[in-house]
């Protein structure tokens, strides 16, 4: 890594891990640690650092910046001398009127039933003060996240605890469904089964035969019929049989008249 890139990476890492993690949409644990995976995702929001892979990031921390950062398996933190005082102190506060979080579309159904709960790998739900930050964080988990609004001030009045993590982020243990404003999303759309007369199930073919085709032709023939033609709406096959019987009767009558 050249010196210019190294210096820029060092400056960004100190901002994330030592001064303002909330500006980058991350929350450090009480000892200042952050998973390398989360750190890499935050760095990918910076256009000038997208050349980094998880492996090259870990190598850079170990080879070029060991005097300023600690590595422990897949975790990283700024050393005490490079961390601002009170950086990881999360204070119980009264939140603003609304807070925001972006979730996967497939999570909406569970949220409608159970409210918001932290992921199995975390202790907190991380909420943003503004929509822009919520989307920034949400796109790290899904390409097209759904914005969810939390009525934080009302929830706090009813006993829900919110902790402030920097100026832009807030933490909560859980958010009951009653304080969540969920949007409609196509991922939740459920198609009702087709039923009732005149409706066919998917894949079912309509039966057709010569009679039905003839009926369609009669219906589209128009209102003008030649003299002697009887306009009948019904089964054309039945009409043909009736006409044949009338012709047979006429022939019988003509033969009888000749014989007389």
Report the pLDDT value the prediction gives residue 239, as an integer from 0 to 100. Answer: 66
Rounded mean pLDDT of 10-29? 96
Q: How confident is the model at residue 247 (pLDDT cuts 50, 70, 90)?
A: confident
Do the Cβ atoms of 26 and 78 come closer than 8 Å?
no
d(CA 145, CA 175): 19
Assess whether 100 and 140 both reside in one domain: yes
pLDDT digits 0-9 by tens, 159-187 = 999 999 999 999 999 999 999 998 876 65
Model confidence at 210: pLDDT above 50: no
Of the candidates 58, 82, 106, which is a domain's last residue? 82
Residue 34 has pLDDT above 90, yes or no: yes
- pLDDT of 122 reads 76
Domain that holds residue 126: 91-188
Confidence of residue 17 (pLDDT cuts 50, 70, 90): very high
**Rounded CA separation 87/28 (Å):** 8
Helix boundaries (H) for the chain: 3-14, 36-43, 54-63, 108-114, 131-138, 152-157, 210-219, 236-259
- As for how many domains the chain has, the answer is 3
Is residue 140 within 8 Å of 41, Cβ to Cβ?
yes
The DSSP result for 11-49, as a single string, is: HHHHIIIII-GGGGT----TTS-EEHHHHHHHHTTSGGG
Q: What is the pLDDT of residue 73?
A: 87
- Distance, in Å, from the CA atom of 85 to the CA atom of 89, rounded to the nearest integer, reads 9
Nearest CA to 168 among 137, 201, 209, 206? 137
Q: What percent of the chain has pLDDT over 90?
A: 64
Residue 54 is part of a domain; what is its CATH number? Answer: 1.10.10.970
- Domain final residue pick, 33, 48, 82: 82
37 and 108 housed in the same domain: no
pTM above 0.85, yes or no: no
What are the pLDDT digits (tens) for 114-136?
Answer: 999 987 777 899 999 999 999 99
């Amino acid at each position: 890594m050249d010196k210019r890139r190294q210096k820029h990476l060092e400056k960004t890492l100190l901002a994330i891990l030592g001064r303002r993690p909330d500006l980058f949409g991350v929350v450090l644990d009480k000892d200042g640690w952050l998973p390398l995976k989360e750190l890499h995702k935050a760095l990918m929001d910076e256009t000038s650092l997208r050349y980094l892979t998880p492996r090259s990031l870990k190598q850079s921390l170990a080879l070029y910046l060991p005097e300023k950062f600690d590595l422990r398996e897949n975790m990283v933190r700024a050393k005490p001398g490079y961390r601002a005082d009170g950086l990881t102190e999360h204070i119980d506060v009264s939140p603003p009127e609304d807070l925001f979080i972006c979730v996967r579309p497939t999570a909406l159904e569970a949220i409608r039933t159970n409210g918001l709960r932290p992921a199995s790998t975390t202790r907190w739900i991380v909420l943003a003060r503004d929509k822009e930050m919520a989307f920034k964080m949400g796109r790290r988990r899904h390409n097209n996240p759904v914005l969810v609004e939390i009525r934080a001030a009302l929830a706090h009045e009813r006993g829900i605890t919110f902790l402030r993590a920097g100026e832009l982020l807030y933490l909560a243990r859980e958010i009951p469904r009653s304080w969540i404003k969920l949007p409609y999303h196509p991922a939740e759309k459920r198609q009702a089964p087709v039923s009732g007369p005149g409706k066919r199930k998917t894949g079912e073919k309509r039966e057709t035969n010569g009679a039905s085709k003839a009926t369609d032709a009669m219906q589209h023939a128009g209102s003008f019929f030649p003299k002697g033609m009887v306009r009948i709406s019904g089964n054309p096959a039945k009409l043909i049989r009736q006409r044949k019987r009338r012709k047979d009767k006429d022939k019988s009558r003509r033969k009888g008249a000749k014989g007389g």
